[in-house]
Chains A and B, each alone.
Chain A
Amino acid sequence: AQSVAQPEDQVNVAEGNPLTVKCTYSVSGNPYLFWYVQYPNRGLQFLLKYITGDNLVKGSYGFEAEFNKSQTSFHLKKPSALVSDSALYFCAVRVRRGSYIPTFGRGTSLIVHP
């Protein structure tokens, strides 16, 4: 079984400040981990993924995520938030062997205040 938790429904941050959107996961085995962003009235867009290797993954639009195996976390980060980063963010996990269907978290709404 696999599951994802995004413990915060909403994250508020001031423009220019660093942001973190949290994600924890549970899988039986090694995971593939993904972050997606959804802007209003749009489909999800892929941001970044962790496959193996370096625990710090860099993605689109200046986002990065840190894989922490001991804490089973994959938090999304950005050093300096922009108002245009305001959107809904989804974390997804997929076990490497077995089912190839990802499980999505419920999403975290990021609001960046000017």
Chain B
Amino acid sequence: NAGVTQTPKFQVLKTGQSMTLQCAQDMNHNSMYWYRQDPGMGLRLIYYSASEGTTDKGEVPNGYNVSRLNKREFSLRLESAAPSQTSVYFCASSGGLAGGPYEQYFGPGTRLTVT
């Protein structure tokens, strides 16, 4: 049981390049989330998916797109990377029906640097 996995672990991009961050969970969870973590800012929600087939914007969605490929996988795409997107990105999942008291399980993170 690997939990939540993310690839890649590290990435360096030049301004304007694109990339996709991959996330998968093997806990049969319904909900999945993408966060970014910046020093002093805590965690900020980028996008989330309450269930397979649905996605919604979070607090800071600009410059990102997501795809809930199936119940296991939730990817985050940067179409044209900007230095302001330099951050650590975490994927998370939570089980049960949306609205229940379920804790989140986090992946190990992707450290992205945009030059």
Binding site for B on A (CB under 8 A): 32, 34, 36, 41-46, 49, 51, 90, 94, 96-97, 100-102, 104-107
**Residues of chain B within 8 A of A94, CB atoms compared:** 101
Among B67-75, B78-86, B105-113, the stretch that binds chain A is B105-113
Q: Are B4 and A100 in contact, CB atoms less than 8 angstroms apart?
A: no
Total residue contacts A-B, CB cutoff 8 A:
50
Q: Are B106 and A44 in contact, CB atoms less than 8 angstroms apart?
A: yes
Q: Are B109 and A101 in contact, CB atoms less than 8 angstroms apart?
A: no
Chain A interface, >50% SS class = loop
Q: Are A42 and B109 in contact, CB atoms less than 8 angstroms apart?
A: yes
Q: List 21 A-B contacts (CB under 8 A).
A: A32-B101, A34-B103, A34-B104, A42-B108, A42-B109, A43-B90, A43-B92, A43-B108, A44-B43, A44-B90, A49-B103, A90-B42, A90-B43, A96-B99, A96-B101, A100-B31, A101-B33, A101-B48, A104-B43, A106-B40, A107-B42
Interface size of B as a range: 20 to 34
- In this complex, the member of B41, B103, B105 whose beta carbon has the largest number of chain A beta carbons within 10 angstroms is B103
User: Beyond A43-B90, A44-B106, A45-B106, is A51–B42 a contact (Cβ under 8 Å)?
Assistant: no
Residues B30-63 near A (CB distance < 8 A): 31, 33, 40-43, 45, 48, 50, 58
- B31, B40, B98, B103: the one contacting A46 at CB < 8 Å is B103
**Residues of chain B within 8 A of A41, CB atoms compared:** 109
User: Beyond A100-B99, A101-B48, is A43–B41 a contact (Cβ under 8 Å)?
Assistant: no
Residues B1-22 near A (CB distance < 8 A): 4
B3 to A, closest residue via Cβ: A43
Shortest Cβ gap from A62 to chain B (Å): 18
Alpha-carbon separation in the docked complex, A51 to B96 (Å)? 15
Alpha-carbon separation in the docked complex, A42 to B106 (Å)? 9
**Residues of chain B within 8 A of A106, CB atoms compared:** 40-42
Q: Are B101 and A104 in contact, CB atoms less than 8 angstroms apart?
A: no
Alpha-carbon separation in the docked complex, A102 to B92 (Å)? 12
